[in-house]
Amino acid sequence: MNDDNRPDPDDLLVELQRDEVKSKQGRLFIFLGMCPGVGKTYAMLQAARQRVAEGVDVLAGVIETHGRAETAALLEGMRVLPRRQLEHRGFTLDEFDIDAVLVKKPRLVLVDELAHTNAPGSRHSKRYQDVLELIESGIDVYTTLNVQHIESQVDIVRQISGVAVTETVPDSILDLAHEIQLIDLSVEKLLERMADGKVYLGERAELAISNFFKEGNLTALRELALRFTAEQVDRDLEDIRRLKRVSSPWKTNARLMVGVGPSPYAESLIRWTRRAAARLNCPWLVVWVESSRVLTATEQERLTRSLGLARKLGGEVVSVTGENVSIALLQVARERNVTQIVVGKPDKQPFWRKSLADQLILGSGDIDVCVVRPLAAPGKDTVSSLREPVSASTIAEFSWVLVSVFTIASLCWSLVGYTGYMFVALVFLLAVVLAALRLSRGPVLAMATLSAVCWNFFFIPPIFTFHIGKPEDWIMFGMFFIVALSMGSLTHRLRLREMAERRRARLTDALLRMTQSAALSAEREKGLETALRVIDETLHARTALVVRRADRSLDTQAHPASSFDPPAKEWGVVAWTHNHKQTAGRDTDTLPDSFATWFPLQTATSMMGVLGVRLEEETRLDFTTRETIAAFALQLALVLEKEHFIQAIHQAEILTKSENLRRALLDNVSHELKTPLAVIQAALDGTGREGPFLGEMATAAGRLQRVVDGLLEMNRLESGALHPSLDWCDLHEIIATARDAVGTALQTHPVSIHLPDDLPLVRLDPVLFAQCLANLLHNGAAHTPPGTPIKISAGLDGSNLHLAVRDHGPGLPPGAEIRVFEKFFRAENTPTGGTGLGLAIVRGLVRAMDGEVVARNAPGGGAEFAISLPGVETFHEPAVTP
Amino acid sequence: MTALLIDDEIQIRRLLRIALEGKGYNVREAENGVLGLQGAAYHKPNVVLLDLGLPDLDGVEVLRRLREFSDVPVLVLSVRNQESTKLAAFEAGADDYVTKPFSTAELLARLAAIQRRQGADENANLACGGLVLDPAHHAASLDGHALKLTPTEYALLAQLVCHAGKVVTIKQLLRAVWGPQSEDQSHYLRVYANHLRKKLEGSGISIKNEPGIGYRLELSECSNSRE
């Protein structure tokens, strides 16, 4: 077989792991339609009724019947979940009650309108997040969705219909779907239904509706829905092909990358890339190049939103720093083996500057560059971004510029007689450079211009006119103008860059200080406290730390080093963050009404706790801050994990030490007890055991020896130091060994062995098993009158090995079936001489081998002890010709 | 015949001396490992009785050093009854292992058994009771009748007869019969041991299993003889 045709083992592994996760998860069924009114809810309810008829536990979580009688009729007889009532600004809003579903845990829940936005105060801001949580906890979900609500299709829908869709669901949730069922209806039928008034049109204005439901629009939407479903089916097919080892012609190594900035076009570029990546079935990156330019609040927010969108759509977000965007983008592209760079089509560019697209194309080499026409995001910020409100400080700077230019002008006026007007130009230049070190860009450029004008008007002859007489003065004026402008802007840019560097250095320094204080501090508590204070200082925020306890559950109160104490209702979001390993709380999509934002302290292997950050009231959590906090959180998690490992090692050392001590003690005790016994026994042997006294001594010595053996064995069992070492065994051999071990005590009882002829070799610990059997035989011989037979039988039942020892004595007293296995238990009327440990040891040994032993009275008299060992490997003897 | 007794317990040494001298042994004593090794080199005993819990050296270590210069039969006498300890002793070259407290009669019988092996010659015919093996022709006979054996069965039986009365560990048997790469294939051994057991039934020769350790060929009267 050709190697290239084989599926990549890593891919297969991913597939398998996905299946594994999927098997624990609930399944998601999506009923997809092209627009409202095609009958999605109706189809969903019909499918659900069928499941009810099959006996499945179905719960109607939330159903929008929109007053349609046919749909409402289908709901009859179903379990319907009452809506949750939420108070919001005096209104009472009905909302889907996710907690009630999680408590009731039905097999299947119906959740209409996947793209719905939840009322404020709900756990998640979007309904699809509720659905995700439901399937994660193992509940199947039926839901409905219109194609225009799919995030990656939003731009296309806007182009078709002119309607900007605000309620969207990320494409990733469609990838999760177990099944997508397309509810299709021809456009004529739909228009017919509309005319009959069967389509719910919502509260929208009549005009918008009539615009939306035009035949052309509907046909386009229908095509979109059909194509989308076809693509999904195609991808499923590919999954199947890959798994079935059909040669995979689409094994692409493509990787897309899109560069985004704080522009309003970014979102549309991201969606385009996502669609292209989905079609190529390849990974994609979103790169944001941070330069020294300080972003305005609007830009910051727009960037945060764009990068959030990228994450939601499943893209990997990379942020790098660099002054030249195209060089930085190409560098990332080379490092990450990107095959195609997506860039927006430039609109107007000054003729002397190359557009980003041109620069990328020039430097891209073997990487494809794809130039697409983006759509500006709808909304107010397209305009507002261009007109930042003029701040008070800017006005102050402008007035400062005005005053200083005129002061310099008047000073020079008095000096110009001695120095000549050339000197004045230099003074102005000096002033512009100095101003650039303090002021922002606008005022500096204004100052440069104003100085040039002043110089011209007041100093260049003829004075008090803008007219310049001599041609060399013209040249000089021109040169002054250019030098002043460029010096001003250069100095200003340098200062900005320095500021950005300083900010970055401050963050890096804070991270380093935090790590050092937390990791190197002798006292853990103090170290953590210093670390948290560093975070507080750096972000001007308050923090709370909730640490994982030794049993892997989250602590119920914040770490004492925290600078705020989470309010009582905050613990829900804390637990959510810990369980889902995702950031939640304020300024996120999950429980945004919380007091603080909560970050998981997660390392590669484990979850160490949760870090809560409460920023000052008016600041929002932007992208940079979020990344910074994530970096802090990772460091904290690593420090906590290190602590955890140190403790674990310490624990293990103590265990080893105590184990060694125990073993030494046991060796000593057995030596000290057994040596005198050996002496007594040897001495008795030497006398030949003649005479009644010596005989009694020999019996007592024998009994003492059994007690000592039993106690030592019991100790070994109870310390848990017994680990079976498996080997292939022949049960005949083991039975023979056990009989030998019991020795003379068994001579008074005839023993019969019943084993199937074809009994294979079994894999178990021969020593432990033989000892169990020996103890059972000894017990049988000791508790039955001489001459009564003892029967050993064994057999295999699948991989279950069972062995029984049955005697024909008086049997067990009633109620003793379980107690016989207790230490030092003696049934009444039993002969003395036993140790009371034999059966307890049997139980301990059998349990060490993961088996079970029971005692019962056999039908027909006598006691029976049965051992069963599950999961025993067997080896059938191959046919051997002797 | 000289027996060397290495044990730190004076009472045990005194009692064993009486028992051994009763059987005609010339008994030497050593109270620790180093003295024991010196005694073994100096007296060249015919048999060594070794305790594992010695004050200076571990008994297994004594055994290992002893094996560097002597292949005298060694019987280990110890209070430790864990299989791992027994296995370690056998692998270090012990010929038999008796746990304390012991029965004197059994100890003496085992001592006699391991001494009989002395002087066996690889090329000579091996015999044990009515069983005679002819290494040159890979043939065997039991009480005068030819015994049909497969080559593997023969090899296994030869190993056991060669060390008759002594425990041969599972590892040793596998290595000798199936080759060093088969050390973890103990199920073959179990199967063949069973075959041999059936073929030797009623002959007074039994193949005893020491669980977790190995096999031992046992017979009331067992001797090696040259052809």
Record: contact A767-B15, CB cut-off 8 A: no
Q: Which amino acid is at A58?
A: V
- Could you give the residue ranges of the DSSP H alpha helices within A284-390? 297-312, 325-335, 356-363, 381-384
In this structure, the dihedral spanned by the alpha carbons of residues A779, A780, A781 and A787, taken in order and rounded to 10 degrees, is: 170
Say how far apart CA A402 and CA A667 lie, in whole Å.
97
Q: Are residues B100 and B130 located together in one domain of the fold?
A: no
Which residues make Cβ contacts (< 8 Å) with residue A623, sequence separation at least 6? A288, A300, A303, A304, A307, A319
What is residue A16's predicted lDDT score, i.e. its pLDDT? 64
β A58-62/A79-80 pair status: parallel
A770 interface with B at CB cutoff 8 Å: yes
Residue A144 bridge partners (DSSP): A31
**Percentage of chain A surpassing pLDDT 70?**
89
How confident is residue A14, by pLDDT bands cut at 50, 70 and 90?
Answer: low
Q: Are residues B178 and B82 located together in one domain of the fold?
A: no
Q: Are residues B138 and B200 located together in one domain of the fold?
A: yes
Say how far apart CA A862 and CA A784 lie, in whole Å.
9
Residue B76 bridge partners (DSSP): B50, B97
Look up residue A783 and give its two tokens: 């508790």
Q: CA distances (Å), A274 to each of A170, A215, A233, A313, A341, in order? A: 10, 29, 18, 7, 13
Record: contact A880-B83, CB cut-off 8 A: no
Residue A284 bridge partners (DSSP): A256
What is residue A386's predicted lDDT score, i.e. its pLDDT? 37
What is residue A4's predicted lDDT score, i.e. its pLDDT? 46
- B85: CATH: 3.40.50.2300
Say how far apart CA B96 and CA B89 lie, in whole Å.
9
Query: Residue with structure tokens 């430097």?
Result: A363
Looking at 3.30.565.10, 3.40.50.300, 3.30.1490.190, 3.40.30.10, the CATH number of the domain A722-875 comes to: 3.30.565.10
Which residues make Cβ contacts (< 8 Å) with residue A527, sequence separation at least 6? A517, A518, A519, A520, A521, A639
Judge if A256-381 and A722-875 fold alike in CATH terms.
Answer: no
Counting the structural domains of chain B, the total is 2
Give the pLDDT confidence of A565-616 residue by residue, as tens digits.
888 888 888 888 888 888 888 888 788 888 889 999 888 788 888 999 988 8
The hierarchical CATH code for the domain A256-381 is 3.40.50.620
Q: What is the mean pLDDT of residues A476-500?
A: 82
- The secondary element (H helix, E strand) that includes residue B64 is helix B59-67
Give the pLDDT confidence of A651-706 residue by residue, as tens digits.
889 988 887 887 778 778 877 888 888 888 888 887 766 777 888 888 888 888 88
Give the pLDDT confidence of A128-162 residue by residue, as tens digits.
888 888 888 888 999 999 888 888 888 788 777 77
Express the helix, strand and coil content of chain B in percent, nearest 5 each. Answer: 40, 25, 35
Say how far apart CA A61 and CA A336 lie, in whole Å.
45
Say how far apart CA A115 and CA A31 lie, in whole Å.
12
Q: Are residues B78 and B173 located together in one domain of the fold?
A: no
Residue A187: alpha-carbon gap to chain centroid: 43
pLDDT digit of tens for each residue in chain B (227 aa)? 899 999 988 988 998 998 899 889 999 999 999 999 999 999 999 999 999 888 888 889 999 999 999 889 999 998 888 888 888 898 888 888 988 888 888 888 888 888 776 555 445 567 777 788 887 778 888 888 888 888 888 888 888 888 877 788 888 888 888 888 877 778 888 888 888 888 888 777 888 888 888 888 887 544 443 33
CB-CB neighbors (< 8 A) of B87 in chain A: none
CA-based radius of gyration for chain A: 42
A734 interface with B at CB cutoff 8 Å: yes
Taking any CB pair shorter than 8 Å as contact, residues of chain B touching chain A are 9, 11-12, 15-16, 18-19, 53, 79-81, 83, 100-105, 148-150, 153, 170, 186-187, 189-191, 193-195, 199, 208-212
Residue A202: alpha-carbon gap to chain centroid: 38
- When scoring B10, B100, B192 by the number of chain A Cβ atoms within 10 A, the one with the most, hence best to mutate, is B100
The answer to the question of residue B226 being in a domain is no
CA-based radius of gyration for chain B: 18
**Best CA proximity match to A847, nearest among A769, A793, A746, A770:** A769
B153, B194 Cβ separation under 8 angstroms: no
Q: Are residues B111 and B159 located together in one domain of the fold?
A: no
List, edge to edge, every strand of the sheet that includes A873-875. A727-729, A761-764, A873-875
The answer to the question of residue B145 being in a domain is yes
With a cut of 60, say whether residue A773 has pLDDT above it: yes
Q: Are residues B92 and B33 located together in one domain of the fold?
A: yes
Q: CA distances (Å), B217 to each of B167, B188, B192, in order? A: 8, 18, 14
> Got the DSSP string for A443-468?
HHHHHHHHHHHHIIIIISSSTTSS--
Question: For chain B, what is the total number of helices (H) and then of strands (E)?
Answer: 8, 12
- Could you give the residue ranges of the DSSP H alpha helices within A68-153? 69-75, 98-104, 127-136
What is residue A113's predicted lDDT score, i.e. its pLDDT? 87
**Percentage of chain A surpassing pLDDT 90?**
4
Q: Are residues B131 and B102 located together in one domain of the fold?
A: no
Say how far apart CA A41 and CA A64 lie, in whole Å.
8
Q: What is the mean pLDDT of residues A826-845?
A: 77
Say how far apart CA A774 and CA A750 lie, in whole Å.
15
Domain-terminating residue out of B116, B134, B161: B116
The hierarchical CATH code for the domain A9-243 is 3.40.50.300
Give the up-direction half-sphere exposure of residue A168: CA atoms within 13 A in the CB hemisphere. Answer: 19
Record: contact B170-A727, CB cut-off 8 A: yes
Domain range list for chain A: 9-243, 256-381, 392-470, 722-875
What is residue A208's predicted lDDT score, i.e. its pLDDT? 54
Give the pLDDT confidence of A218-261 residue by residue, as tens digits.
888 888 888 888 877 777 776 666 665 544 434 456 889 998 88
Instruction: For the beta carbon of residue B129, count every other beta carbon within 10 angstroms.
Output: 19
Domain-terminating residue out of B116, B137, B160: B116
Q: Are residues B138 and B105 located together in one domain of the fold?
A: no
Say how far apart CA A573 and CA A369 lie, in whole Å.
43
Q: What is the mean pLDDT of residues A702-718?
A: 82
List, edge to edge, every strand of the sheet that includes B167-169. B167-169, B214-218, B206-210
Looking at the predicted complex, does its ipTM rise above 0.85? no
What is residue A392's predicted lDDT score, i.e. its pLDDT? 61
B26, B1 Cβ separation under 8 angstroms: yes
Look up residue A417 and give its two tokens: 């007689």
A752-758 long-range contacts (CB < 8 A, ≥24 apart) are A752/A789, A752/A790, A752/A791, A752/A792, A753/A791, A753/A792, A753/A793, A754/A791, A754/A792, A754/A793, A754/A794, A755/A731, A755/A793, A755/A794, A755/A795, A756/A795, A756/A796, A758/A876
Report the gap between the CA of B119 and the closest CA in chain A (Å).
30
Q: Are residues B137 and B111 located together in one domain of the fold?
A: no
CB-CB neighbors (< 8 A) of B102 in chain A: 678, 681-682
A42, A71 Cβ separation under 8 angstroms: yes
Residue A611 bridge partners (DSSP): A545, A599
**Best CA proximity match to A259, nearest among A150, A158, A363:** A363
The answer to the question of residue B162 being in a domain is yes
Give the pLDDT confidence of A410-462 residue by residue, as tens digits.
888 888 888 888 888 888 888 888 888 777 778 888 888 888 888 888 888 78
Residue A530: alpha-carbon gap to chain centroid: 28
How confident is residue A200, by pLDDT bands cut at 50, 70 and 90?
Answer: low
Instruction: For the beta carbon of residue A291, count every other beta carbon within 10 angstroms.
Output: 16
Say how far apart CA B189 and CA B172 lie, in whole Å.
11
A535, A514 Cβ separation under 8 angstroms: yes
- The secondary element (H helix, E strand) that includes residue A745 is none
Residue A371 bridge partners (DSSP): A343
- B208: CATH: 1.10.10.10
A742 by DSSP, 3-state: which? helix
**Best CA proximity match to A860, nearest among A819, A796, A818, A806:** A806
- When scoring A761, A763, A872 by the number of chain B Cβ atoms within 10 A, the one with the most, hence best to mutate, is A761
Look up residue B117 and give its two tokens: 């092996």
Say how far apart CA B167 and CA B215 lie, in whole Å.
5
Which of A231-235, A308-312, A405-409, B153-157 is the least confident region? A231-235
CB-CB neighbors (< 8 A) of A877 in chain B: 191, 194
A767 interface with B at CB cutoff 8 Å: yes
List, edge to edge, every strand of the sheet that includes A108-111. A79-80, A58-62, A108-111, A140-146, A28-33, A179-183
A14 interface with B at CB cutoff 8 Å: no
B9, B102, B170 member nearest A681 (Cβ): B102
Residue contacts between A and B (CB atoms, under 8 Å): 103
CB-CB neighbors (< 8 A) of A882 in chain B: 148-150, 153, 195, 199
What is residue A136's predicted lDDT score, i.e. its pLDDT? 86
Residue A807 bridge partners (DSSP): A790
Burial tier of A864 (Cβ tally within 10 Å: 0-12, 13-18, 19+): buried
Q: Are residues B64 and B141 located together in one domain of the fold?
A: no
A302 by DSSP, 3-state: which? helix
Q: Which domain holds residue B170?
A: 126-218
With a cut of 60, say whether residue A880 has pLDDT above it: no
Q: Are residues B90 and B32 located together in one domain of the fold?
A: yes
Three-state helix/strand/coil letters over B165-199: CCEEEHHHHHHHHHCHHHCCCHHHHHHHHHHHHHH
Q: What is the mean pLDDT of residues A371-377?
A: 78
DSSP A746: G
Give the pLDDT confidence of A528-556 residue by residue, as tens digits.
888 888 888 888 888 998 988 877 788 88
Say how far apart CA A869 and CA A70 lie, in whole Å.
61
Residue B221: alpha-carbon gap to chain centroid: 15
Which of A201-205, A760-764, B23-27, B44-48 is the least confident region? A201-205
Q: Which amino acid is at A881?
A: T
Among A189-193, A306-310, A429-433, B41-45, the range of highest mean pLDDT: B41-45
Record: contact A761-B190, CB cut-off 8 A: yes
Q: Are residues B101 and B146 located together in one domain of the fold?
A: no
